[in-house]
């Protein structure tokens, strides 16, 4: 079942070029991972330091494999330097019925 992941981060207002560069690098690597479908980055209009990434994966297991990979953890640690609070994850399955083939 398709997985939709919302990743919320709040950054310090400075360092935007470094932050966007890291986010783009993470996405470019994610694009080559098993099950990756798409991703987009959103900036809150009134509070541009608040960013959300919405990514879509073939299965929740594909997302979990990427989320727990050492490569992603390395980039996540680089992003945390610029964050004012921990990353928040919201994980959803597309549709309304639950299947065990996540």
CATH number, domain at 82? Answer: 3.30.70.100
Give residue 15's pLDDT: 87
The domain containing residue 9 runs over which residues?
A: 3-93
Taking residues 12-32, report their average pLDDT: 92
Tell me the pTM.
Answer: 0.88
51 exposure class (CB count in 10 Å sphere: 0-12, 13-18, 19+) = buried
Number of domains in the chain: 1
What mean pLDDT, rounded, does the chain reach?
Answer: 92
Instruction: Note whether residue 98 is domain-resident.
Output: no
Q: Has residue 101 got a pLDDT over 70? A: no
């Amino acid at each position: 079942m398709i997985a939709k992941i919302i990743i919320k981060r709040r950054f310090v207002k400075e360092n935007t070029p470094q932050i966007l560069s890291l986010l783009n690098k993470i996405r470019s690597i994610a694009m080559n991972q098993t099950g990756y479908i798409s991703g987009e980055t959103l900036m809150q209009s009134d509070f541009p330091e608040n960013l959300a990434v919405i990514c879509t994966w073939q299965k929740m297991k594909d997302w979990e494999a990427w989320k727990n990979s050492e490569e992603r953890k390395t980039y996540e640690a680089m992003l945390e330097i610029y964050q004012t609070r921990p990353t928040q994850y919201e994980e959803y399955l597309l549709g309304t019925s639950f299947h065990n083939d996540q």
